[in-house]
A and B are shown apart, each in its own frame.
Chain A
Amino acid sequence: MALLEVENLQTHFRTPSGINRAVDGVSFHVNEGETLAIVGESGCGKSVTSMSLMRLIPEPPGRIAGAIRFAGKDILKLSDREMRAIRGNDISMIFQEPMTSLNPVLTVGRQIRETLMIHQGLDQQAAEAHAIEMLTLVGIPEPKRRVREYPHQLSGGMRQRVMIAIALACNPKLLIADEPTTALDVTIQAQILKLMLDLKRRVGAAIILITHDLGVVAEIAERVMVMYAGRKVEEAPVAELFRSPRHPYTQGLLGAVPRLGSSLTGAARRLAEIPGQVPDLRKPITGCVFAGRCALATDLCRQYAPGLEEKAPRHIAACHYAAKGAVAA
């Protein structure tokens, strides 16, 4: 049994101009110790998916339907109290912006202790000792001094390390990382990615990595799910997805990214563009969500939404025309 099973997740928001179907019928699973990346552009529903998993969507205006089974239990059916026992304990989360997600008026140590005292029932002293241990684990120098400092006294990279320390303090089974390195500089990003890989090996938590950076995906994910306009359009093991993407959107996304070293391997080619824009999610979409921007789209695509279909072993895509078989053209 998978650690996390999401079935037909629908997260909709009531807005003055209609219902926004931010996530519309997404199913996926995460195995124990596995790293799943969810990729897509702004507004594709990747962050709303992660917030739904933590039940952090305010209801109303939001509404979550479907099933989210964590270790066999549907967390959408839990009371708020039961959910609080899971959040930060069994499932924890790292956000993009470490400055706004840490409390500026509490010391770093207090913020790590809080989680430990609530969930693990540690006393002040044991929690303090564990907090220092966690700071050491995430590679913060002089942890005994840092534990008494406030977030503003730390650099961006250090703050993100503190966020990771808080998230891992209770040994979660699942860690959701929502754009964990997007706000960081590239040399700091390299430090944090290395840290996440090391910690994964040592702690063994499953990770859901949400990002728009295909480089980061290639670096740490094992399996990738591509979202577009609130739907899952493709899913495959990471090497397979980069080698032979099946969905025209995934192909477009990969073609639109310049590669480092491109100037050395011959003439710089033009970047592939995906024409047009993401559809308005407040209007019902008939047919394929990508039809409006797809070069292959026909009347079939505009009328009937393609179902997710296995195009190769463990490789599924929602497209009427995506090639089947071992290697795509």
Chain B
Amino acid sequence: MSPPLLQVNDLKKHFPVKTGLFGRKSEWVYAVDGVSFEIARGETLSLVGESGCGKSTVGRAILRLFDVTSGQVILDGQRIDDAHPSTMRQMRQRMQVVFQDPFSSLNPRMRVRDILAEPIRNFGLAKSAADLETRVTALMDTVRLPREALNRRPHEFSGGQRQRIGIARALAAEPELIVCDEAVSALDVSVKAQIVNLLQDLQREFGLALLFISHDLAIVEHMTHRVAVMYLGKIVEVAPRREIFAAPRHPYTKALLSAVPLPEPGAQRNPIILGGDVPSPINPPSGCRFHTRCPYVFDRCRTEEPQLRSAGGEQWVACHLDALPAG
């Protein structure tokens, strides 16, 4: 069996926050606190969870937009969390990112042509000026934008078109992995469908692996292979799509899924309404981090932190309930 494209081992990222008079006392935000997973070539893994659960931090740590506190990020057998800047530069070609907001993630002063040419030049992918031109026009075709648009600037495009430019820029480097950080969340329904379809087509065509970070569970179900559910900096459940959506095991996953309003009037459903809010990641609860809101909480949950363990097949759950409540 070939090794996974991306391997993340016990990743931690803690951010300091200054408190107290003159900001002398330092506390830590435990944004990501021990997360492990793998992504195979051509696979989509979705990271889901609510605001502040650390899903975006995981994406950014993998791209090494900041250094991690501890843990390993391994791309195709090579560690990148402690790689030298010159090695890192080569590795960056293999993983690219599409951000949520297509308004702030494109340089307003650059023409689309230059936005797309920049990564190609940076990584020395074009053999000649003619090759560069061919690549840039081919990218426009790939993301289904008119070639004439190459000479325009980002503000002349709608949100959906800008997101296509963002995707084309990510593809320009010919990556193996693309991190999509809420890449379709800001888009309108009809445009969102266009971009989701485009991402699926591109994945098939180029064999791309996607780390799809999203809070929209219906979109995730539509396009993912596997799902990792995060809560307060930890993964509470990882499983293939079918298992997660047919038989979620962790109480948080169940609550999350049952809370999604269905576009079917009068649909019979019994949402599990969680009380309260997500606790602060500065002082996460002891034991299981979900115990303050869990409907099944018992003594052990308050003191001992549950580890991920197999609940049969490829489904992994971090929960103490011995007989995990069924479906």
Q: A-side interface residues toward B, CB under 8 Å?
A: 41-42, 155-158, 185-191, 193-194, 212-219, 221, 238-239, 242, 252-264, 268, 270-275, 277
Contact = CB atoms under 8 A, between A and B. Distances in A.
Interface of B: 50-51, 158-160, 188-194, 196-197, 200, 215, 217-219, 221-222, 241-242, 245-246, 255-267, 271, 273-274, 277-278
B257 A271 contact: no
A271 B193 contact: yes
Given A185-B50, A212-B188, A219-B261, A157 B256 contact: no
Contacts of B189: 41, 212, 214, 253, 256-257
Nearest to B224: A263
A215 B219 CA distance: 13
B263 A215 contact: yes
The DSSP consensus for interface residues of chain B is helix
Contact of B218 (A218, A239, A262, A270): A262
Contact of A260 (B51, B160, B218): B218
Q: Which 3 A-B pairs have the closest CB atoms?
A: A215-B261, A258-B222, A190-B259
A170 B160 CA distance: 42
A215 B266 contact: no
A193 to B, nearest CB: 7
Nearest to A185: B50
Contact of B263 (A218, A252, A263, A274): A218
Contacts of A216: 261
Contacts of A262: 218, 221-222
A218 B245 contact: no
A215 B258 CA distance: 12
Nearest to A219: B261
Nearest to A249: B190
A271 B193 CA distance: 6
A302 B200 CA distance: 34
Contacts of B222: 258, 262-263, 268, 271
A221 B217 CA distance: 22
B273 A194 contact: yes
B193 A187 contact: no
B319 to A, nearest CB: 17
B193 A272 contact: yes
A190 B273 CA distance: 7
Given A194-B273, A258-B222, A238 B217 contact: no
Given A262-B221, A273-B197, A214 B188 contact: no
6 contacts: A41-B190, A185-B215, A191-B274, A193-B261, A218-B267, A262-B218
B221 A261 contact: yes
A65 to B, nearest CB: 28
B263 A242 contact: yes
A97 to B, nearest CB: 14
Contact of A270 (B197, B221, B245): B197
Given A41-B188, A42-B188, A187 B267 contact: no
Given A257-B218, A264-B245, A272-B193, A187 B263 contact: no
Contacts of B264: 218, 242, 259
Given A187-B256, A271-B222, A259 B263 contact: yes
A215 to B, nearest CB: 3
B128 to A, nearest CB: 36
A253 B190 contact: yes
Given A253-B189, A277-B160, A263 B242 contact: yes
Nearest to A220: B261
Contacts of B242: 263-264
Nearest to A141: B276
A164 B271 CA distance: 22
A88 B191 CA distance: 36
Nearest to A255: B193
Nearest to B52: A185
A253 B190 CA distance: 6
A186 B262 contact: no
A264 B246 contact: yes
A273 B277 contact: no
Contact of A214 (B159, B194, B256, B263): B263
A221 B263 CA distance: 11
Given A194-B273, A254-B263, A187 B255 contact: yes
A261 B245 contact: yes
A191 B277 CA distance: 10
A270 to B, nearest CB: 6
A256 B193 contact: yes
B245 A215 contact: no
Nearest to B266: A239
A271 B197 contact: yes
B33 to A, nearest CB: 19
A263 to B, nearest CB: 5
A239 B261 CA distance: 15
Contacts of B217: 186, 260
Given A215-B263, A257-B263, A263-B242, A191 B215 contact: no
Nearest to B200: A270
A242 B191 CA distance: 20
A274 B190 contact: yes
Given A215-B262, A219-B262, A263-B241, 5 more contacts: A41-B190, A186-B256, A190-B273, A264-B245, A274-B190
A273 B261 contact: no
A256 B263 contact: no
A128 B201 CA distance: 59
